[in-house]
Amino acid sequence: MDRMVIEGGHQLNGHVDVGGAKNSALKLLFASLLAEGKHTFHNVPNLADVGSAAVLLNSLGCETHRSGTTFTVNVKKPQSFEAHYDLVRKMRASILCLGPLLAKYGEAVVSLPGGCAIGTRPIDLHLEGMKALGATITLEEGYVKARAKKLKGANFLFETSTVGGTENVMMAATLAEGITVLENAAKEPEIVDLAEYLNKMGAKIKGHGTSVITIEGVEKLKPAEHTVMSDRIEAGTLLIAGAMTGGEVTVNRIHPAHIEALIVKLKEAGFKISQTDLSVTVHRQIGWRAVDITTNPYPLFPTDIQAQFMALMTIAEGTSVITETVFENRFMHVQELCRLGADITPKTRVAVVRGKPGGLIAAPVMATDLRASASLVLAGLVAKGATVVNRIYHLDRGYENLEGKLTQLGAKIKRIE
């Protein structure tokens, strides 16, 4: 079981490049199922979750190949249209092969993903959207069985803003007959990246990035080539790492607009931030104010940066109220941060963080989910002594070589097999 040992007290300084976005790459790979032939993707991060997506695509008869950060998927007509439980349980985003398989082949059998550490993660809105397009959906022995002779365009209102739901139904609608209008669609940049790839494949999508997306169905799509957008969550994580250690860190290859909500909060806390078209810099700052955050769908404060920001608040001056509105159980990092000496009171969806500058002391802690593990690594950068983060495989799902990037900036961090 991999562990990571972080020696606290080293200031991070310098430049670091952000990799490709996990939460875009996974969907782009599944979108390739909409058109047989060879799809080419650049800037694909080398992550455990991408590996899982490749295994699923291979199980559907595709040939996948990685060379550096270029990933190709050669799609052939699948022998079966089933995404098996063993694959889906490892990576719940596999549910996003449902829309493409249903639209392209008229059938899909996808294991229900089940919940995860941060919440129940239902997919009811994915399924409601498919039904709106004319699909017949049954749930049998833990699998979603979807069928449709030919999907028909429809208007569909998402009662909750859902990234995966918007992506799944948008992909399905590309081959439906007629026009589909998705209302209260999610506006995350990853959805824009996906829609842009689908349009390169010949889809007719408009309004992506706004809450109303219109898709005019087409007969056929063709394989294309695309460069995955940068990972805004990795960028935010690296920026907070610099801020916490009182260093000056520039994160390259990121559009500042993609992490605007974080930049606003860092400035509110007293940090000086500068930016160019494709980089953001946090400047040296000893001592910062506690600020409140509330997570919400894009462009508001991202739930995927909540745990990392909480780590920053544990050593701020004052009390920060952190409200998590997106997932019902995304405070698994709280007790572990408290093991490091943080003073946090978690309630339902709200955590009160009483900041104590210099207050963290190293201890063994346990990673429970992807972003919680990032939060613990950040806390380890400033905790006095050597912090051991156990179950670090959670981190590998969404960060490529985080320890290498932090070491490059001056951290003393090593992985123990």
Active site residues: 116
DSSP 3-state assignment of 35?
coil
Please tell me the distance from the alpha carbon of residue 2 to that of residue 204, in angstroms, as a whole number: 45
| Residue among 119 and 364 whose Cβ is closer to ligand EPZ | 119
Kindly tell me which of 26 and 383 has the beta carbon lying closer to ligand EPZ: 26
DSSP symbols for 204-243: EEE-BTBSEEEEE--S-----EEEPPB-HHHHHHHHHHHH
Q: Which of 160, 210 has the CB closer to ligand EPZ?
A: 160
Which of 45, 43, 44, 65 is closest to 54 using CA atoms?
65
Nearest approach, Cβ of residue 189 and ligand EPZ (Å): 11
The least distance separating ligand EPZ from the CB of residue 23, rounded to whole angstroms, comes to: 3
- Judged by the rule CB under 6 A, the positions of this chain that interact with ligand EPZ are 23, 26, 93, 119, 121-126, 160, 162-165, 186, 303-304, 326-327, 370-371, 398
| Nearest distance from C-beta of residue 212 to ligand EPZ, angstroms | 17
Q: Is 288 or 309 the residue whose CB approaches ligand EPZ more closely?
A: 309
Measured at the alpha carbon of residue 156, what is the angle toward residues 153 and 162, in degrees to the nearest 5? 120
Q: Using CB positions, name the residue nearest to ligand EPZ.
A: 164
What is the C-alpha to C-alpha distance for residues 276 and 13, in angstroms, rounded to an integer? 18
As measured in angstroms, the least distance from the Cβ of 157 to ligand EPZ is 13
Classified as helix, coil or strand, 103 is: helix
**Using an 8 Å Cβ cutoff, are 198 and 171 in contact?**
yes
Distance between CA atoms of residues 19 and 275, nearest Å: 18
Q: How far is the CB of 59 from ligand EPZ (least distance, A)?
A: 19
Give the nearer residue to ligand EPZ in terms of CB position, either 125 or 254.
125
State the DSSP string of 286-344: S--B---EEE-STTSB-GGGHHHHHHHHTTSBSEEEEEE-S-TT--HHHHHHHHTT-EE
Write out 142-156 in H/E/C secondary structure: CEEEEECCCCECCEE
Q: What 3-state class would DSSP assign to 372?
A: helix
Q: Would you say 75 and 29 are in contact if contact means Cβ atoms under 8 Å apart?
A: no
C-beta closer to ligand EPZ: residue 148 or 326: 326
Cβ proximity to ligand EPZ, 45 vs 380, nearer residue: 45
Tokens of 361: 């002391």
Instruction: State the minimum distance, in angstroms, from the CB of residue 299 to ligand EPZ.
Output: 12
CB of 284 to ligand EPZ, least distance (A): 29
